[in-house]
Structure 1
């Protein structure tokens, strides 16, 4: 079995402030270690679930947060950013049996994590077909496009609730809850235990119950924090500016939507 893991940091237990997420800040070291341990737990659960090949994308900020020395030897770690439109699931393809997301967070435009955002902080929100979307859904749709089931997600309670609305069969482990500018976190060791056990269970079920159905067509809407950004982005092909800070793009091909997101967000 070949499994893909994408790891972010804003959904890791304990992470509350931007200083804890940025490599150049002193606070980052502690939480880079925690995301490594949560990914390690996911890897161990994956191995117990039957996997013999594991690929991991370090998908936060610089892409240089995870200590590979602490992970099992049958892992390949993708560091940095290639520039490919698959972004946080770079190198994912049809050869994988399952996709797993660790440390993911609520989307921009929601209030369930003090660090809520989608891709970056220059947009108030990104909507797809009228619904606010997260980094998780953007990349889960890539897995769906490739026919790879999304079996597991850990992160804040808001993103876990979103995943359950998308497909109730996705195993979710909420490790924190955002309240205003604060977080309520479970113990780091408990998070590790729950992730390990949850991943193992997720891989021992009928994986294809976790397939996510793609819409037949897509309407992408982005509202920026600054009107000048919306004006500039409105020059992208087939983009319409529908408000002082808002643009819209439509397509029937999800790959075209991904290309648009790459350049519009």
Structure 2
């Protein structure tokens, strides 16, 4: 049984500030160790429940954060950025029975979620999805990284069985992903503060929950939305919208909003990556 683990950093126990998440930051080395240990805990839980293959995809920033020496020697690791499938790279390396999202955080615009952002925090204010065939005045569904990534997996029939992070992201996951198991390792107070459990306790709970999630896989269902999907981006400045409008197929909605109609969930992700990367070129 193949399990794909997508591991981020902002949602790990103890992490509350950008200084902990950026290479060169004063607490980065400690935080990346916590991240590596949480990824390993999820992998160990998967092996405990009968997984025969576990692929861990480093999904934070430059995607070169995991400390290999902190990981079980049975795991495979995907590292390095500019991946076609970004945070769910590895799903095409055989059909995963399930995916785990570990260390995930709230999406851009979510109140009381540590370091909330969606793919590119300096650019994106909010992303919403709605059926392209729906009413024009439908505001759409607010989405975070977990929802976008789950849609790509769900389109391929892969369910998200485990989500760990702060209480905000796990609450949204419980509402959206049928049968998902969650572990909240901290309760966010503001964007830069939280009440966290100890990293050792976080790893203990994650390992137990990973095993539980895999053993209960029969109750889990893939997360899907009917295509085509209209993706609406609220960007933080007009300059970012100016740049995003250069992407073929992008429609300008107003000063700071653009949209794109994607025929598949995978193309939703490609649009998010393309628009945020090109808009990011004008960040000053």
Q: Same fold (TM over 0.5)?
A: yes
Structure 2 partner of 1:17 = 17
Which deviations, in whole Å up to 9, do the C-alpha atoms of 1:6-53 show, x marking residues without a partner? 000000011000000011112101111111111111111010110111
SS at match of 2:120: coil
Matched, 1:171 2:172: no
SS at match of 2:220: helix
How has the CA–CA distance of structure 1 residues 166 and 230 changed in structure 2, closer, same or farther, with 3 Å as cutoff? Answer: same
Mapped partners of 2:126, 2:162: distance in 1: 24
Q: Which runs of 5+ in 2 are unaligned?
A: 131-139, 277-284
Matched, 1:254 2:265: yes
Of 129, 153, 162 in structure 2, the residue corresponding to residue 143 of structure 1 is: 153
| Structure 1 length-normalised TM | 0.95
Structure 1 partner of 2:205 = 194
242-251 or 254-263, which deviates more: 254-263
172-181 or 207-216, which deviates more: 207-216
Counterpart contact for 1:112–1:156, Cα < 8 Å: no
Which deviations, in whole Å up to 9, do the C-alpha atoms of 1:113-166 show, x marking residues without a partner? 230000011111111121221111111111111111210010011110111111
Of 214, 225, 228 in structure 2, the residue corresponding to residue 214 of structure 1 is: 225
Structure 1 partner of 2:129 = 128
Structure 1 partner of 2:36 = 36
Structure 2 partner of 1:183 = 194
Structure 2 partner of 1:229 = 240
Mapped partners of 2:183, 2:248: distance in 1: 40
Counterpart contact for 2:228–2:263, Cα < 8 Å: yes
Mapped partners of 1:127, 1:235: distance in 2: 20
Shift of 1:208: 5.7
Counterpart contact for 1:98–1:207, Cα < 8 Å: no
Counterpart contact for 2:179–2:219, Cα < 8 Å: no
Shift of 1:100: 0.5
SS at match of 1:158: helix
Which deviations, in whole Å up to 9, do the C-alpha atoms of 1:65-98 show, x marking residues without a partner? 11111211111111111431x1011121252111
Counterpart contact for 2:108–2:118, Cα < 8 Å: yes
How has the CA–CA distance of structure 1 residues 197 and 108 changed in structure 2, closer, same or farther, with 3 Å as cutoff? Answer: same
Mapped partners of 1:178, 1:199: distance in 2: 23
Mapped partners of 2:227, 2:256: distance in 1: 27
Q: Which runs of 5+ in 1 are unaligned?
A: none
Counterpart contact for 1:149–1:207, Cα < 8 Å: no
Mapped partners of 2:217, 2:62: distance in 1: 35
Structure 1 partner of 2:89 = 90
197-206 or 212-221, which deviates more: 212-221
Aligned residues: 264
